[in-house]
Structure 1
Protein backbone atom coordinates (compact mmCIF):
# COMPACT_ATOMS: atom_id res chain seq x y z
CA UNK A 1 0.00 0.00 0.00
CA UNK A 2 2.82 2.39 0.87
CA UNK A 3 4.60 1.55 -2.38
CA UNK A 4 1.46 2.32 -4.40
CA UNK A 5 1.07 5.68 -2.65
CA UNK A 6 4.71 6.50 -3.40
CA UNK A 7 4.20 5.63 -7.06
CA UNK A 8 1.16 7.92 -7.25
CA UNK A 9 3.19 10.71 -5.65
CA UNK A 10 5.74 10.48 -8.47
CA UNK A 11 3.17 11.29 -11.15
CA UNK A 12 3.49 15.11 -10.97
CA UNK A 13 7.24 14.87 -11.54
CA UNK A 14 6.67 12.53 -14.46
CA UNK A 15 4.14 14.73 -16.27
CA UNK A 16 6.69 16.95 -18.06
CA UNK A 17 8.74 14.05 -19.37
CA UNK A 18 5.64 12.18 -20.55
CA UNK A 19 4.50 15.31 -22.38
CA UNK A 20 7.92 15.62 -24.05
CA UNK A 21 7.83 11.94 -25.01
CA UNK A 22 4.31 12.29 -26.42
CA UNK A 23 5.28 15.40 -28.36
CA UNK A 24 8.36 13.66 -29.75
CA UNK A 25 6.29 10.68 -30.93
CA UNK A 26 3.64 12.96 -32.48
CA UNK A 27 6.21 15.09 -34.32
CA UNK A 28 8.15 12.03 -35.46
CA UNK A 29 4.97 10.38 -36.74
CA UNK A 30 4.11 13.54 -38.64
CA UNK A 31 7.61 13.74 -40.12
CA UNK A 32 7.59 10.03 -41.00
CA UNK A 33 4.26 10.44 -42.78
CA UNK A 34 5.61 13.37 -44.79
CA UNK A 35 8.89 11.63 -45.61
CA UNK A 36 7.80 8.05 -46.20
CA UNK A 37 4.12 8.09 -47.26
CA UNK A 38 5.14 7.73 -50.92
CA UNK A 39 7.12 4.55 -50.24
CA UNK A 40 5.13 1.54 -51.51
CA UNK A 41 3.93 -0.80 -48.75
CA UNK A 42 5.54 1.33 -46.06
CA UNK A 43 4.27 1.38 -42.51
CA UNK A 44 3.95 5.16 -42.69
CA UNK A 45 1.23 5.66 -45.31
CA UNK A 46 -1.06 7.62 -42.97
CA UNK A 47 -0.63 9.62 -39.79
CA UNK A 48 -2.49 7.14 -37.51
CA UNK A 49 -0.42 4.28 -38.88
CA UNK A 50 2.77 6.31 -38.44
CA UNK A 51 1.76 7.19 -34.89
CA UNK A 52 1.33 3.53 -33.96
CA UNK A 53 4.62 2.59 -35.60
CA UNK A 54 6.59 5.41 -33.99
CA UNK A 55 5.20 4.39 -30.60
CA UNK A 56 6.27 0.83 -31.36
CA UNK A 57 9.74 2.06 -32.30
CA UNK A 58 9.96 4.05 -29.06
CA UNK A 59 9.72 0.77 -27.20
CA UNK A 60 12.38 -0.72 -29.55
CA UNK A 61 10.18 -3.69 -30.35
CA UNK A 62 9.76 -4.93 -33.89
CA UNK A 63 12.25 -2.38 -35.24
CA UNK A 64 13.22 -4.30 -38.40
CA UNK A 65 9.65 -5.12 -39.38
CA UNK A 66 8.57 -1.49 -39.08
CA UNK A 67 11.51 0.05 -40.92
CA UNK A 68 12.55 -2.55 -43.52
CA UNK A 69 10.40 -1.22 -46.39
CA UNK A 70 11.64 2.32 -45.85
CA UNK A 71 15.28 1.16 -45.59
CA UNK A 72 14.91 -0.78 -48.83
CA UNK A 73 13.62 2.33 -50.58
CA UNK A 74 16.09 4.86 -49.17
CA UNK A 75 19.26 4.24 -47.18
CA UNK A 76 19.20 7.88 -45.98
CA UNK A 77 16.09 7.08 -43.93
CA UNK A 78 18.50 5.40 -41.53
CA UNK A 79 19.39 8.87 -40.18
CA UNK A 80 15.76 9.62 -39.32
CA UNK A 81 15.39 6.44 -37.30
CA UNK A 82 18.77 6.75 -35.59
CA UNK A 83 17.95 10.29 -34.46
CA UNK A 84 14.53 9.12 -33.25
CA UNK A 85 16.07 6.25 -31.29
CA UNK A 86 18.83 8.39 -29.79
CA UNK A 87 16.48 11.12 -28.63
CA UNK A 88 13.52 8.93 -27.78
CA UNK A 89 14.99 5.82 -26.31
CA UNK A 90 18.37 6.82 -25.00
CA UNK A 91 17.49 10.30 -23.77
CA UNK A 92 13.80 10.57 -22.94
CA UNK A 93 13.25 7.02 -21.71
CA UNK A 94 16.28 7.22 -19.43
CA UNK A 95 15.17 10.64 -18.24
CA UNK A 96 11.76 9.16 -17.44
CA UNK A 97 13.35 6.36 -15.45
CA UNK A 98 15.61 8.79 -13.58
CA UNK A 99 12.73 11.09 -12.64
CA UNK A 100 10.56 8.21 -11.45
CA UNK A 101 13.41 6.75 -9.41
CA UNK A 102 14.33 10.09 -7.84
CA UNK A 103 10.74 10.99 -6.96
CA UNK A 104 10.12 7.51 -5.56
CA UNK A 105 13.32 7.69 -3.49
CA UNK A 106 12.36 11.08 -2.04
CA UNK A 107 8.82 9.96 -1.23
CA UNK A 108 10.06 6.73 0.33
CA UNK A 109 12.54 8.71 2.45
CA UNK A 110 9.71 10.94 3.68
CA UNK A 111 7.65 7.88 4.52
CA UNK A 112 10.52 6.36 6.52
CA UNK A 113 11.01 9.61 8.44
CA UNK A 114 7.30 9.78 9.25
CA UNK A 115 7.34 6.19 10.51
CA UNK A 116 10.38 6.90 12.69
CA UNK A 117 8.66 9.96 14.16
CA UNK A 118 5.54 7.91 14.91
CA UNK A 119 7.61 5.25 16.67
CA UNK A 120 9.31 7.86 18.87
CA UNK A 121 5.95 9.00 20.19
Structure 2
Protein backbone atom coordinates (compact mmCIF):
# COMPACT_ATOMS: atom_id res chain seq x y z
CA UNK A 1 0.00 0.00 0.00
CA UNK A 2 1.43 3.36 -0.91
CA UNK A 3 1.14 6.49 1.23
CA UNK A 4 -1.71 8.05 -0.74
CA UNK A 5 -3.84 4.88 -0.33
CA UNK A 6 -2.95 4.71 3.37
CA UNK A 7 -3.97 8.33 3.83
CA UNK A 8 -7.26 7.66 2.03
CA UNK A 9 -7.96 4.74 4.41
CA UNK A 10 -7.13 6.95 7.39
CA UNK A 11 -9.32 9.77 6.06
CA UNK A 12 -12.26 7.45 5.56
CA UNK A 13 -11.95 5.36 8.72
CA UNK A 14 -9.80 7.02 11.36
CA UNK A 15 -11.38 10.44 11.16
CA UNK A 16 -14.88 8.94 11.23
CA UNK A 17 -13.94 6.94 14.33
CA UNK A 18 -12.53 10.05 15.99
CA UNK A 19 -15.82 11.88 15.44
CA UNK A 20 -17.86 8.94 16.77
CA UNK A 21 -15.71 8.24 19.82
CA UNK A 22 -15.65 11.83 21.07
CA UNK A 23 -12.88 10.88 23.45
CA UNK A 24 -9.14 11.27 23.74
CA UNK A 25 -7.13 8.38 22.33
CA UNK A 26 -3.69 7.63 20.96
CA UNK A 27 -3.32 6.22 17.46
CA UNK A 28 -0.72 3.51 17.00
CA UNK A 29 0.76 2.47 13.69
CA UNK A 30 4.18 1.15 12.83
CA UNK A 31 5.74 4.58 12.20
CA UNK A 32 7.47 3.15 9.16
CA UNK A 33 5.48 5.69 7.20
CA UNK A 34 6.28 8.30 4.63
CA UNK A 35 6.96 11.92 5.44
CA UNK A 36 3.77 12.82 3.58
CA UNK A 37 1.69 10.60 5.88
CA UNK A 38 3.32 12.10 8.95
CA UNK A 39 2.58 15.54 7.52
CA UNK A 40 -0.98 14.47 6.78
CA UNK A 41 -1.54 13.31 10.38
CA UNK A 42 0.00 16.36 12.08
CA UNK A 43 -2.76 18.95 11.48
CA UNK A 44 -5.54 16.45 12.20
CA UNK A 45 -4.82 16.75 15.93
CA UNK A 46 -4.44 12.99 16.22
CA UNK A 47 -2.11 11.92 18.99
CA UNK A 48 0.26 9.37 17.45
CA UNK A 49 2.17 6.98 19.70
CA UNK A 50 5.91 7.14 19.21
CA UNK A 51 6.69 3.67 17.98
CA UNK A 52 9.93 2.52 16.42
CA UNK A 53 9.69 0.89 13.03
CA UNK A 54 10.77 -2.76 13.00
CA UNK A 55 9.61 -3.16 16.61
CA UNK A 56 8.05 -6.38 17.97
CA UNK A 57 4.32 -6.65 17.37
CA UNK A 58 2.84 -5.60 20.68
CA UNK A 59 -0.40 -4.42 19.12
CA UNK A 60 -3.02 -7.14 19.72
CA UNK A 61 -4.71 -6.47 16.38
CA UNK A 62 -1.57 -7.65 14.56
CA UNK A 63 -1.99 -11.06 16.16
CA UNK A 64 -5.68 -11.10 15.26
CA UNK A 65 -4.77 -10.33 11.62
CA UNK A 66 -2.39 -13.29 11.70
CA UNK A 67 -5.16 -15.55 12.99
CA UNK A 68 -7.52 -14.30 10.27
CA UNK A 69 -4.88 -14.80 7.58
CA UNK A 70 -4.31 -18.42 8.64
CA UNK A 71 -8.05 -19.13 8.79
CA UNK A 72 -8.58 -17.73 5.29
CA UNK A 73 -5.52 -19.57 3.96
CA UNK A 74 -6.94 -22.91 5.19
CA UNK A 75 -9.94 -22.33 2.91
CA UNK A 76 -7.62 -22.12 -0.15
CA UNK A 77 -9.07 -19.13 -2.01
CA UNK A 78 -8.29 -19.43 -5.71
CA UNK A 79 -8.82 -15.78 -6.65
CA UNK A 80 -10.03 -12.41 -5.36
CA UNK A 81 -13.63 -13.45 -5.90
CA UNK A 82 -13.11 -16.28 -3.38
CA UNK A 83 -10.96 -14.20 -1.07
CA UNK A 84 -13.43 -11.47 -0.11
CA UNK A 85 -16.29 -13.66 1.17
CA UNK A 86 -13.80 -15.98 2.91
CA UNK A 87 -12.32 -12.99 4.76
CA UNK A 88 -15.74 -11.70 5.77
CA UNK A 89 -16.94 -15.11 6.92
CA UNK A 90 -13.80 -15.86 8.92
CA UNK A 91 -13.90 -12.37 10.48
CA UNK A 92 -17.47 -13.06 11.66
CA UNK A 93 -16.32 -16.41 13.07
CA UNK A 94 -13.77 -14.81 15.40
CA UNK A 95 -15.11 -15.24 18.90
CA UNK A 96 -14.80 -12.45 21.45
CA UNK A 97 -12.85 -14.75 23.77
CA UNK A 98 -10.00 -14.76 21.21
CA UNK A 99 -9.88 -10.96 21.36
CA UNK A 100 -10.05 -11.02 25.16
CA UNK A 101 -7.18 -13.53 25.29
CA UNK A 102 -5.01 -11.23 23.17
CA UNK A 103 -5.66 -8.39 25.60
CA UNK A 104 -5.18 -10.59 28.68
CA UNK A 105 -1.78 -11.89 27.51
CA UNK A 106 -0.55 -8.36 26.70
CA UNK A 107 1.23 -7.79 30.05
CA UNK A 108 3.20 -11.04 29.57
CA UNK A 109 4.04 -10.10 25.99
CA UNK A 110 5.20 -6.64 27.06
CA UNK A 111 7.32 -8.09 29.90
CA UNK A 112 8.92 -10.57 27.48
CA UNK A 113 9.84 -7.76 25.06
CA UNK A 114 11.30 -5.68 27.88
CA UNK A 115 13.27 -8.68 29.16
CA UNK A 116 14.61 -9.40 25.65
CA UNK A 117 15.46 -5.70 25.21
CA UNK A 118 13.34 -5.53 22.07
CA UNK A 119 14.63 -8.71 20.49
CA UNK A 120 12.39 -11.54 19.41
CA UNK A 121 10.22 -13.38 21.92
CA UNK A 122 8.06 -16.50 21.84
CA UNK A 123 5.12 -14.22 21.09
- TM-score using structure 1 length: 0.33
- TM-score using structure 2 length: 0.32
Higher helix share: 1
